[in-house]
Structure formats: C-alpha cells, structure tokens
Structure 1
C-alpha cells in the first residue's frame, strides 16, 4: 500500500481521533472552503515538519481536487480535511479557487429554460 493509500482507519474504526488530527480544532481558520472548492499544490517540496496527513494532502493535490474529493481520498471527515487544507493554504503549500458566491435567486425564465433543456435530453 502506498503512503497516499494509507488510512488512519481500519475495520474496527479510527486509530486516531479526528480532533487530534486537526490539532484539537473543530473549525477551519478559512471560511471559504466549500465542498466544490478546488485545491492544488504549488510545490512538491515541504520545507518544514508537517503531519503525515498534511504531507499526504499535498501529494494528493498535485492535480486539482475538490475539498470533497480530498475528504474521500484520505478517508477523513470533511471538517478535519477543511482544517488541514486551511493550514496548508495559510502555509503556502496549496492554492484554492472557490466558485463565485451568488445570493440572487435565478429568474423563473432561466429555471424554465433549464427544465426545458433537460426534458429535451
């Protein structure tokens, strides 16, 4: 099994509690990490001592991955992954792109056009 495939879980459950992996934190420092936010490594060289989970995420993100993908590939809870990603972004190992946030509700005409397009499929 490669280091990327290693998991802190086995059949009996987690070997290390999630709050320990996140350094006792339950919320990430960044609030802009959504499920579909893309993260990618900007370097392969880790210049400091980081946890195995941090290093694993940097290796996984050589190609752009969504936050949800990172959680699934590492088999870690989403909130733990967000904390770890937040750490790596703040340290300069990863960059991220979040989708534009919109607060406006789509018009009825737009929704109808989408529905009509789906029906034509």
Structure 2
C-alpha cells in the first residue's frame, strides 16, 4: 500500500443521517466555526462529537474542519448546522473580500518613491 490515508469506514451520507439539506440555511465554506462550550459532549453522535471536539481547541473555517475530519465540505456543513441549531457552535460569516487594488494609485506611489532616490 502506498502512503494514502486510510479510507473512512462510514460514508458521508450516513454522517448526515441521509439528509439532502441541512436544517438551517447553508453555511458558507469560509464560515468561521467556534465551540460555545468546549466541554465533552457525550450526548452527541460520533460525527457531531468529532466536530465539536475539533473546535474545542479553537476556531476553524468550515472547509478547514472538513479537511481535519476527512469529510466532504457539504457533509461537514450539515453537522455544523445541526450543532449551531443546538447551541453548541457559533457560526460567524466570513470576512468580506477587500476592495480591489487601485492600480493607478499604486503606479503613482511607485513613481513618487522612485523620485525620492
């Protein structure tokens, strides 16, 4: 066997309970997730518990959490939405992209800096 990671034993559709849509509005791939209470959650299923424990150490985006859990982003979104609805996680919308760079301003700045030599 090559250096491939072991395959998941539980298919992603079982981790979501076979649902096609999350219980709440879909979370963005860059939504920042944080555990509200990092104490152990024994009343959760194994996939939900794994996500909750992962976020107990700090905030991660949905896509980062999916990579750590080795689940598809869509399946991780279902789990996160369930935990947000249950009050176990906080979901913060991603920070909006910065405005486009004004290339004319940058050119003028470079010209000004070159004249200072």
TM-score, length-normalised on structure 1? Answer: 0.70
Match of 1:27 among 16, 21, 26: 21
- Describe the SS at the equivalent of 2:84: helix
Match of 2:9 among 11, 15, 19: 15
TM-score, length-normalised on structure 2? Answer: 0.72
Q: In structure 2, how many angstroms separate the alpha carbons of the residues matched to 1:75 and 1:115? A: 44
After superposition, the C-alpha distances for 1:2-23 in whole angstroms (9 at most, x for unaligned) are xxxxxxx72xx43112111101
Q: In structure 2, how many angstroms separate the alpha carbons of the residues matched to 1:55 and 1:24? A: 18
- Structure 1 unpaired stretches of 5+: 1-8
Q: Are residues 17 and 32 of structure 1, via their aligned partners in 2, closer, same or farther at CA, if it must alter by over 3 Å?
A: closer
Q: Rg: which structure is higher?
A: 2
Match of 1:113 in 2: 102
Q: CA deviation at 1:114?
A: 5.8
- Structure 2 unpaired stretches of 5+: 111-117
Kept in 1: contact 2:34–2:90 (CA 8 A): yes
Kept in 2: contact 1:32–1:98 (CA 8 A): no
Q: Are residues 115 and 66 of structure 1, via their aligned partners in 2, closer, same or farther at CA, if it must alter by over 3 Å?
A: farther
Query: How is 1:58-69 mapped onto 2 (pairs within 5 angstroms)?
Result: 58-62=52-56, 63-69=58-64
RMSD: 2.8
